[in-house]
Amino acid sequence: MEEKDWPVLKGERCTLAVLSLEDAEAWKAGEDEEQRRWFEFPGPAPMENVVGAICKWRDQWQTDGPMRQWGIWSSGELAGGVEIRDRGDRRANVSYVVFPTFRRRGVATEAVCLATEWAFRNLAVDVAVAVIDERNAASTAVAKRAGFTFEGRAERWEYDESGPCVRYVLHARK
Ligand SMILES: CC(C)(COP(=O)(O)OP(=O)(O)OC[C@H]1O[C@@H](n2cnc3c(N)ncnc32)[C@H](O)[C@@H]1OP(=O)(O)O)[C@@H](O)C(=O)NCCC(=O)NCCS
């Protein structure tokens, strides 16, 4: 997909737009202990990793790849990110992060709703899947607030972290 066609998704609390390299500093500044804990980063991400991630995300849009990532913008500031990953089984994983100063305002919930609606309309996807560490209360609350329901214990291939993880799902409206 050409860059001019990359989707910008507007909600009431936030707007989703694909990141560019100019956003690398703000992305890095938003990282905190909570993200490191749940994504199991060994420490603060070096700048080269942040730049590499943004390049990879942009390449996925360019090549219509399985992974689609947006930055979450709130009041003109970068507030986090949300990612859709097409699993190839008509399901797509969704993952999300909101930077500390923007939390507890419904930003993650709205971003998840915008991204999953886009996936249902534009990818071969009928079910959005949130694979969540069973101890991650904030992430579980986001999934529930976005309309996901508990499906069961996640299988080991569905996540890279230590877990154990559970699976919440949202079915596309028919
Ligand atoms: C999880 C995370 C994205 C939540 O972002 P957020 O923008 O604060 O979430 P929202 O404001 O949309 O909150 C949605 C619900 O979660 C609840 N919630 C948010 N943070 C919470 C917390 N720390 N503990 C308990 N509940 C929490 C909110 O109260 C809200 O529920 P309510 O509407 O019933 O009141 C954010 O805390 C984060 O980035 N954490 C680190 C990364 C992470 O764990 N990502 C998920 C990996 S699967």
**Distance in angstroms (rounded) separating the CA atoms of residues 56 and 51:** 9
114 φ/ψ angles, rounded to the nearest 5 degrees: -65, -45
Average pLDDT over residues 102-121: 98
Ligand 1 pocket check for 34: Cβ under 6 Å: yes
Domain that holds residue 41: 3-171
Averaged confidence pLDDT in the chain: 97
pLDDT of residue 174: 76
Write out the two tokens for 50: 């942040």
Which residue's alpha carbon is at the smallest distance from atom 25 of ligand 1? 138
Q: Which pTM value belongs to this model?
A: 0.97
pLDDT-based confidence at 167, cuts 50/70/90?
Answer: very high
Residue identified by tokens 């990818």 is 123
Give residue 42 CA to ligand 1 midpoint distance, Å.
22
Task: Provide the domain count of the chain.
Answer: 1
Q: Which atom number of ligand 1 is nearest to the Cα of residue 80?
A: 39
Q: What is the CATH number of the domain that holds 128?
A: 3.40.630.30
pLDDT (tens digit, 9 = 90+) per residue, 22-31? 999 999 999 9
**pLDDT of residue 165 exceeding 80:** yes
Average pLDDT over residues 53-60: 98
